[in-house]
Amino acid sequence: MNGLRKDEKFGTTNSRKILHLDESLTAYSQLINLGNQSVTGGTRTQLTDDGQGFGTVSTKTLWNSVDNRINLLDARVNSYIDVGIVLASQTSAGVFQASIQLDYSPSLDGSQVITVPITRYIEYTGGVTVALHYSFKFIVTQDMKDNGIGIMVTPYASYTLENTRLTIERLVVPT
């Protein structure tokens, strides 16, 4: 649609539609953590993803790998956000369970959360890597704060998370 931008010269009558053409309707990122992260059973911990793993791609900066937070500063009210998280671990036989919550409080203390925790559970015999899949979908209802959104994980037991995978998608319908 790049060629259509030539029509900006037509002034304010079409300004609303010009905005439509200039603005990206979608933005998305896929971030793979290159290494591992150890988490302790029962301890609420911020998930980290360095975005250095194979398969990382992004159309816009939706993740900050320095403070490990989702960056939605540009998301307008009524934007649709879809966050996918895959936790993988290989442990001995037993239960692999963890809850995840999106937290946008500055200290990530749970005082300002976007969603309630989602818990995933799998029971297996051990010896293989298994994964828990999480999906958060929500609509932005107020201006986003500039401190980013942390992903907080509370595991049932202690695990080593391998190559954590994040997908972040931002959609907006022009108004």
Partner 1 sequence: MMDFTLVNVNESSKSNYKTSKEERFNVINSIDVQFNERSLISYAQILDSGSQAITASTRTQLTIDGLGTGNYSTGTFWSSVDNKINLQDAVVGDYIDCQVFLPVTGVGATISVLVELDFSSALDGSELVTFPIANTSQNAGNYEYNVKFYVTQTMKDNGIGIMVTPTVNITVTGAKLALKVLPSQID
Q: Which residues of this chain interact with partner 1, rule CB under 8 A?
A: 1, 3-4, 6-7, 9-10, 13-14, 17, 20, 25-26, 78, 80, 82, 95, 97, 99, 116-121, 134-135, 137-139, 141, 156, 171-174
Residue with tokens 């200039």: 22
- The CB-of-46 to partner 1 minimum distance in angstroms stands at 19
Structure tokens at 2: 């790049």
- The CB-of-52 to partner 1 minimum distance in angstroms stands at 27
- The CB-of-84 to partner 1 minimum distance in angstroms stands at 9
Residue type present at position 88: A
Residue type present at position 77: V
Of 66 and 116, which has the nearer Cβ to partner 1?
A: 116
Of 37 and 79, which has the nearer Cβ to partner 1?
A: 79
Of 65 and 97, which has the nearer Cβ to partner 1?
A: 97
Of 17 and 145, which has the nearer Cβ to partner 1?
A: 17
Residue with tokens 């298994």: 130
What percent of the chain is helix, strand and coil (3-state, nearest 5)? 10, 45, 45
Q: What's the rounded Cα separation, in Å, for the pair 114 and 149? A: 9
- The CB-of-14 to partner 1 minimum distance in angstroms stands at 6
Of 34 and 139, which has the nearer Cβ to partner 1?
A: 139
- The CB-of-67 to partner 1 minimum distance in angstroms stands at 26
> Cβ(18)–Cβ(7) under 8 Å?
yes
Q: Report helix, strand or coil for 18.
A: helix
Q: What's the rounded Cα separation, in Å, for the pair 133 and 85? A: 6
